[in-house]
Amino acid sequence: MKRHRLEAWLSHHSTVIILAVPLLVIAAITDLLAGSLLIRLATAMFVSMIIVIGMQVFMGNSGILAWVHVGFMGIGAYIASVCSMTPQMKAIAIPQVYPFLLNIHLPFWPSILVGSAVATVVAAAISYPLMRLSDAAAAITSFALLIIIHAVLVHWDRVTNGPRTLFGIEEYTTLWISVVCAILVLIVAYFFKESSLGLRLRASREDYHAASAMGINITQVRYFSFLISAAIAGFGGGLFAHYITSFTPDAFYLIETFNILAMLVVGGPLSISGAVIGTVLVTVAREGVRAIENTINLNHLLPFEVIGLTEVFLATILILSLILRPQGIMGSRELRWKPKKNMDETNKAK
């Protein structure tokens, strides 16, 4: 009996291990065998994975697409950067920075957490009414919020250096930090999904009115899930900032939204496995095509430059995915370990 229970428990929660182990393997192989370019790509992939999982947490469980998600990534990135940069660097990079910001100098991890916290606070402030809107109105409001966050990042140059590049951030995010953080976020997402809050949210996705009739306060449930999602996005944004070390507000706008959406939709928005698999597949495909694009351009294989080929390719894949398999590769299933029945049971069945 005990073995059964243990097996059942393990099987049920095996998703986390099935996903985490290959990620660690990828990181190990890349670290040991690959050059610095691939290491950077792998790091970027794991950071993106965090953002994608963050979006999955809300969208997969509630069924609502939060267009504003990448905006929180941006908030996390900028705040974490301002916290972690040395005052000397800040004075150069953000010439008109507020004095009280100038003197803040936190170590890496606290900066990341502050970034995530600020993103969460902003989400808390602006999104409660969003939770009650219908499909179409919610999508529009969410999108408008993304635009506003972008506009604020572009114009509040005493904090962000405006539309100009913010540079001088220390490169703290290593390959191993990014993969471990991705796995941590994965675990958080998984236990959220299985928690009572996650279950209630998924009930509301399946059937709004039935869930409501059962006494689930859908607005509240959505709201808290949204905050968790924003916290993850802010966290990922901070990691992103310390990987790429310089960026502009445009890094957290439509292009990034498109990338994240492509990864989530191709893999399957309803499951965490989908988010992970989608990120890996799309990253590999994208970098592959980009390599082709660069080879063509650098070697002048064609009489003209091909720019934008990668994005055209990705967009086509996304559209085909939506037409042919809108639930993504994983659909609503998670990767699970299904233990084989032992000999006694199979004998009994006969």
Partner 1 sequence: MIVFEFLINAISLGSLYALIALGLVIIYGILKMVNFAYGELIMIGGYLLYLVGLNTNIPWLIVAVIAVIGAMVVSYFTELVAFRRVRVKSLTALLITTFAVSTLLQNGALLVISPRAKAVALPQIFSTSISIFGVGTPVRNILTIVISISMLIGLTILFRYTILGIALRAAADDFQMTRMLGVPANLVISSAFVISGAIAGVVSLFWVGRTASVTPTIGQGPLLIAFVATVIGGMRSLVGAVVGGFVYGVIFSFIGVLLPQVLLDYREAFMFLIVILILLWRPEGLVKVKYAEERVG
Binding site for partner 1 (CB under 8 A): 63-65, 126, 129, 133-137, 139-141, 143-145, 147-148, 151-152, 155, 254, 257-258, 261-262, 265, 306-309, 311-312, 314-316, 318-319, 322-323, 326
For residue 227, count other CB atoms closer than 10 A to its CB: 19
**Nearer to partner 1 by C-beta: 256 or 334?**
256
Residue 77: how many CA atoms within 13 Å on its side-chain side? 35
Q: How far is CA 29 from the centre of its chain?
A: 23
In this complex, which beta carbon is closest to partner 1, that of residue 325 or of residue 341? 325
Instruction: Give the shortest CB-130-to-partner 1 separation in angstroms.
Output: 8
CB 208 → partner 1: shortest distance, Å?
A: 13
Nearer to partner 1 by Cβ, of 31 and 311: the residue is: 311
Strand partners, 166: 247
Count the neighbouring beta carbons within 10 Å of the beta carbon of residue 69: 31
DSSP assigned state of 132: G
* Nearest distance from C-beta of residue 107 to partner 1, angstroms: 33
- Shortest Cβ distance from residue 75 to partner 1 (Å)? 14
Distance between CA atoms of residues 325 and 331, nearest Å: 9
Closest distance between partner 1 and the C-beta of residue 56, in Å?
13
Contact criterion met (CB below 8 Å) for 55 and 258: no
- The least CB distance from residue 310 to partner 1, in Å, is 8
- Which CB atom, from 8 or from 301, has the smaller least distance to partner 1? 301
Q: Which stretches of the chain are DSSP H helices?
A: 2-33, 36-62, 69-84, 87-93, 99-102, 108-127, 135-155, 157-160, 175-194, 196-206, 208-213, 218-244, 254-267, 272-298, 309-324, 343-349
Q: How far apart (Å, rounded) are the C-alpha atoms in residues 212 and 194?
A: 19
Nearest approach, Cβ of residue 267 and partner 1 (Å): 13
CA atoms within 13 A on the CB side of 218: 22
Alpha carbons within 13 A on the beta-carbon side of 333 = 6
- In the complex with partner 1, the residue whose CB is nearer, 106 or 306, is 306
Name the minimum Å distance from CB 149 to partner 1: 9
| Residue 83 or 131 with smaller CB distance to partner 1 | 131
How many alpha carbons fall within 13 Å on the CB side of residue 96? 8
In the bound state with partner 1, the residue whose beta carbon lies nearer, of 108 and 258, is 258
User: Between 168 and 328, whose beta carbon lies closer to partner 1?
Assistant: 328
Among candidate residues 124, 109, 132, 84, the one with its CA nearest the CA of residue 245: 84
